[in-house]
Amino acid sequence: MSASIRPGLSERFGRVRVAATVAMSIKARALREAGHDVVTFAIGEPDFATPPHAIEAAHQAALRGDTKYPPQDGTRALKAAIQRQFKRDHGLDYALDEIMVSNGAKQVLFNALMATVDEGDEVVIPVPCWAAYTLMTQLVGGTPVHVSCPQNNGFRLRPEDLEAAITPRTRWLLLNYPNNPTGAVASRAELAGLAEVLLRHPQVWVMADDMYEHLYYSEERYATLAEVEPRLKDRTLTVSGVSKTYAMTGWRIGFAGGPKDLIRAMVSMQGHAAAGVSTIGQAAAVGALDGPQELVAERAAIYRRRRDFVVAALNACPGISCHLPEGAFYVFPNIAGCLGKTTAGGRLLQTDQDFSLALLEEHYVALVHGGAFGMSPYLRISYATDDASLAKGMERIAAFTRGLR
């Protein structure tokens, strides 16, 4: 064999690219390591600590020797806690074999797509959206079908737009409320309108990504699709986790409730990829779900105050217009008024990506351009950080926009 011939990478790998949030975080880290004071709004990670009772639950699990291989679908204790959470928060009844635990909610989504999507099958994804939905769909061979949800629709999916997007090849609709990156939330009436469309298309699975469900700033309680329309429960995968609500991103615990056959297939996929989930992390999640819940509302109130501050600060910046999101911990401001201008450092801003890169390199604020989430000219800013950093970052953004000519 010729020495010039080497094993190659797969065609599948060619579908993969680095997520914009990760790329921006790498750039910010490099600037920080070079000695610059960088304010980072790029990653959606709570700045709060994991609740002490969750940490204590993990500690006690380790002390009693709960350190062996876990069941692939999750420990019985955690699945029972998840069962109680679904009932408590949404009135949803799932049997234990209709629940699974994964290494973060992202693996739940990946398991589901791997188990159900064949080459060329379509996944309807409202945009703006978390970029991972598109990337995972492409990785498993599916075709993302993006449906625009512009700001004048409140960044929410309309029934008529959903109807137009569905074809005989449609396998999934991905719904994410409260939404990343916009913070939009669909009301019960709006979900009911989408449900009427879905009832006419029984071949379509529905993935309700409710990761930010407890970060909702309306007086109305957050509702998920299977709760609003029980006739869709047998083809809806309801997804959540402990990462955002309980500030447990590093514990890597996501979960889902759904039809038994789908859950069984997802568990099988997980078994071939990562097997079970850390027993210590699962014990911590039981502690979080079954422990005191007062901190959930307390932290949501802090996020709401931060949201109000950031929205007001951005709306005071020349060329920026920011709507008021209903949930999550992101704002998604429009920067159309800044494009076509030149920065104080001499850079012409033609796109939202130009804006984000210039802001980072000239004023040391890291955020993510809206194009990475499927809609321009916008920015995604995470306000899941301390008040001092928010104030400093907003001051820098204001100075940057005032310097545009």
The answer on 369 and 239 residing in a single domain is no
The DSSP bridge partners found for residue 381 are 331
Sign of torsion, CA 64 65 67 72? negative
Per-residue pLDDT of the chain (405 residues; tens, 9 = 90+): 455 677 888 888 777 776 777 788 888 888 889 999 999 999 999 999 999 999 999 999 999 999 999 999 999 999 999 999 999 999 999 999 999 999 999 999 999 999 999 999 999 999 999 999 999 999 999 999 999 999 999 999 999 999 999 999 999 999 999 999 999 999 999 999 999 999 999 999 999 999 999 999 988 889 999 999 999 999 999 999 999 999 999 999 999 999 999 999 999 999 999 999 999 999 999 999 999 999 999 999 999 999 999 999 999 999 999 999 999 999 999 999 999 999 999 999 999 999 999 999 999 999 999 999 999 999 999 999 999 999 999 999 999 999 999
Domain boundary, last residue among 230, 257, 290: 290
Domain boundary, last residue among 251, 275, 290: 290
CB neighbours (10 Å) of residue 399?
14
- Per the structure, the complete domain to which residue 28 belongs is given by 12-49+295-402
- 379-382 and 330-331: which strand pairing? antiparallel
The answer on 326 and 276 residing in a single domain is no
Which among 279, 403, 272 has a CA at the least distance from the CA of 344?
403
The answer on 90 and 232 residing in a single domain is yes
- 172 sits in which H/E element: strand 170-176
The answer on 248 and 381 residing in a single domain is no
Confirm whether 137 is domain-assigned: yes
In this structure, what are the phi and psi dihedrals at residue 146, rounded to the nearest 5 degrees?
A: -85, 130
Confirm whether 56 is domain-assigned: no
In this structure, what are the phi and psi dihedrals at residue 189, rounded to the nearest 5 degrees?
A: -65, -40
DSSP annotation of 291 = S
The answer on 310 and 246 residing in a single domain is no
The answer on 299 and 286 residing in a single domain is no
Total structural domains in the chain? Answer: 2
| CATH number (domain holding residue 357) | 3.90.1150.10
| CATH number (domain holding residue 94) | 3.40.640.10
The answer on 266 and 134 residing in a single domain is yes
Domain boundary, last residue among 264, 290, 316: 290
Query: Is residue 185 within 8 Å of 222, Cβ to Cβ?
Result: yes
The answer on 236 and 334 residing in a single domain is no
Query: Is residue 240 within 8 Å of 255, Cβ to Cβ?
Result: yes
